[in-house]
Amino acid sequence: MTRHAGRAIVAGAILALIGAACTSASGSAGPPPSAPPGGAVIVAQDLAFDRTELDVPAGLAFQLLFDNRDGAPHNVTILDGGGKATFVGETFGGPGSRIYAVPAIAAGTYRFRCDVHTDMSGTLVARS
Amino acid sequence: MHAVKPVPRTETGSMAIALRGGVVILTLLTAAVHASLGGVLFTLNAAVYLALAVAMVLPAIAPVRWLVRLALLGFAVATIGGWLLFGARFPLAYLDKAVELALLVFLAIEIWLFDGGPAGDLRRARRLAATLVAALPGRGVR
């Protein structure tokens, strides 16, 4: 292995790595978008959700608008009290948004989180 | 039937450059993917991969390159294992695991060609352990 070849590979790739790291930087700020009628909205920015509590209707399917303002991929997963996934939203890199069609869930308290960054989490309350 | 015993080769020539280039590029690729995910854990993972990629080509580290190879192999296995246990399933994650599996293949070939296979690494590890034990206070040459 020649020294020049090794150095060139590492130097080029370090630059690529720095570029990749920069893609995880957050996109534009701004107020959260409006929730779909009868649904809810949540924003991911700077590796955090914009809220730690989410109210949704119980026993009715609803739409959850998820706005990912980070370059990093995020999603929203809803877990029941036992930690079992009730709903798993699509994981995607931002900036971008998706409207998740969440099936009806029973009244009660759930947890929501990002599956990629599990420290991004909060409480979801389904009220009848 | 005779067992094929790997004979360590020198780490020079076009084969060595291709292999090492592959290892470094794959390591930096997975580092870049982890860096792009953000968060402390992924950033630390990327930093370790980056450090190991640099160690794979630093001339000063050539005498213990076998150890770097093993560290990189172990770290990639641990990262894949962590993802299997706790990781999120999405396209970029699957792509990254493919990169890490390819990295494991390249490392296995390097270990086979340059270190004399697992048996060669085991001998080196024993020698290193003996050297370290001898260097302990009270165990050295008086």
Residue B3 included in any domain: no
Separation of alpha carbons B89 and A102, rounded Å: 19
CB contact under 8 A, A9 and B57: yes
Q: Which residue of B has its CA nearest to A25?
A: B38
Q: What is the structure's pLDDT at A38?
A: 80
Cite the beta strand spans of A1-128 per DSSP E: 40-45, 48-49, 53-57, 62-68, 73-74, 77-79, 85-88, 92-93, 96-102, 108-113, 121-127
Residue B55 included in any domain: yes
Residue B44 included in any domain: yes
Residue B94 included in any domain: yes
Q: Which amino acid is at B73?
A: L
Smallest CA–CA separation between A120 and chain B, in Å? 10
Residue B18 has pLDDT above 90, yes or no: yes
Separation of alpha carbons B136 and B30, rounded Å: 38
> Which of B29, B54, B90, B113 is the best residue to mutate to test the A interface, defined by the most A CB atoms within 10 Å of its own CB?
B90
Q: Which amino acid is at B142?
A: R
Q: How many domains does chain B have?
A: 1
Q: Contact at 8 Å (CB) between B36 and A72?
A: yes
Residue B4 included in any domain: no
Residue B9 included in any domain: no
CB contact under 8 A, A17 and B46: yes
Using CB atoms, pick whichever of B12, B33, B90 lies closest to residue A91: B90
Residue B62's domain spans which residues? Answer: 14-134
Q: Contact at 8 Å (CB) between A59 and A106?
A: yes
Residue B33 included in any domain: yes
Residue B72 included in any domain: yes
**Omega cis (within 30) before A95:** yes
Q: Contact at 8 Å (CB) between A52 and A123?
A: yes
Residue A11 has pLDDT above 90, yes or no: no
Length of chain B: 142
Please state the rounded mean pLDDT for residues B100-119.
Answer: 95
pLDDT digits (tens, 9 = 90+) for A24-81: 555 566 777 887 888 899 999 999 999 999 999 999 999 999 999 999 999 999 999 9
The pTM of this model reads: 0.82
CB contact under 8 A, A6 and B24: yes
Separation of alpha carbons A63 and A39, rounded Å: 5
